[in-house]
């Protein structure tokens, strides 16, 4: 009888050790899978631009690679509403005269300062006011230097920069 009790005890102890060991390994394996899937998004260029009540972007230059997927996010960190201090980002086609474009755009109030059927624009965000954020996604065009600006009346002089595609 004694030997049977010892045997049962031994089997029970062995089962507990095995089941505990097995449970510890499972969380580690699933963590590794999650980390690998995060790495796959490295190819997208995430561009963050902020704008404020002092009529300024935080960047004068944006760099991406030709054919790269770009996610451009514009944040307005000021508090004035978009009728007073609205901002957008307009990226112009190569060779477009930015001064002429800004003058045309300033007259397009009912269309949030984006000239209808314009042949001068590559990409643009919507117009936002203080506290708002907007994003656009596009594929970077061929290599070259393009201009970006805010098309709200009077902002172009301060709010412009270079969109460089390498
Ligand atoms: Cu602006």
pLDDT of 33 strictly over 60: no
Q: Is 44-165 a CATH 3.30.365.10 domain?
A: no
Token pair belonging to 31:
């963590």
pLDDT of 34 strictly over 60: no
Q: Which residues contact 108 (CB under 8 A, 6 or more apart)?
A: 114, 115, 116, 151
Ligand 1 is an ion; residues with CB less than 5 A from it: 87, 150, 152, 155, 159
pLDDT recorded at residue 45: 97
Residue 24's pLDDT band, with cuts at 50, 70 and 90, is very low
Q: How far does residue 38's CA lie from ligand 1's centre (Å)?
A: 34
pTM: 0.75
Q: How far does residue 96's CA lie from ligand 1's centre (Å)?
A: 19
Q: How far does residue 150's CA lie from ligand 1's centre (Å)?
A: 5
Q: What ranges do the domains of the chain cover?
A: 2-41, 44-165
Q: How far does residue 140's CA lie from ligand 1's centre (Å)?
A: 23
Q: Rounded to an integer, what distance in angstroms lies between the CA atom of residue 44 and that of residue 30?
A: 25
Token pair belonging to 116:
């209808």
Q: How far does residue 56's CA lie from ligand 1's centre (Å)?
A: 7
Cβ neighbours, 10 Å, residue 72: 23
């Amino acid at each position: 009888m004694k030997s049977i009790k010892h045997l049962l005890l031994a089997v029970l102890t062995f089962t507990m050790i095995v089941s505990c060991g097995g449970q510890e390994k499972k969380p580690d394996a699933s963590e590794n899978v999650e980390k690998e899937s995060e790495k796959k998004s490295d190819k997208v260029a995430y561009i963050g631009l902020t704008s404020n009540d002092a009529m300024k972007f935080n960047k004068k230059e944006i760099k991406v690679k030709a054919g790269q997927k770009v996610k451009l996010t514009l944040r307005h960190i000021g508090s004035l509403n978009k009728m007073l201090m609205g901002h957008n980002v307009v990226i112009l086609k190569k060779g477009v005269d930015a001064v002429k474009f800004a003058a045309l755009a300033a007259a397009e109030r009912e269309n949030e300062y984006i000239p209808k059927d314009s042949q001068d624009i590559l990409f643009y965000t919507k117009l936002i006011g203080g506290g708002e954020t907007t994003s656009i996604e596009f594929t970077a065009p061929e290599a070259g230097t393009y201009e970006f600006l805010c098309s709200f009346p009077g902002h172009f002089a301060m709010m412009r920069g270079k969109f460089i595609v390498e």
